Amino acid sequence: MKKYLVILLALSSLLLIGCDKNGTDSVREIVVSGTEFSFTPDVIELEEFEKVNITFKNDGEMPHSFFIKRFAIGTEVLEPGEEETIEFEAPEKGEYKVICTVAGHEQEGMEGMIIVK
Give 30-88 pLDDT, tens digit per residue: 999 999 999 999 999 999 999 999 999 999 999 999 999 999 999 999 999 999 999 99
Q: 31-116 architecture in CATH?
A: Sandwich (2.60)
Average the pLDDT over 89-114 and give the result.
Answer: 97
- Stated as kind and residue range, the H or E segment containing 38 is strand 38-40
Rounded-to-integer distance, Cα 46 and Cα 5, Å: 38
Q: What is the band of 97 on the pLDDT scale with cuts at 50, 70, 90?
A: very high
Amino acid at 46: L
What is the pLDDT at residue 4?
42
- Stated as kind and residue range, the H or E segment containing 14 is helix 2-17
Q: What helix, strand, coil percent values describe the chain, rounded to 5?
A: 15, 40, 45
Average the pLDDT over 10-39 and give the result.
Answer: 70
What is the pLDDT at residue 40?
98
The number of beta carbons lying within 10 Å of the beta carbon of residue 59 is 15
What is the pLDDT at residue 25?
75
Positive or negative, the CA dihedral 39, 94, 90, 77 is positive
Average the pLDDT over 81-96 and give the result.
Answer: 96
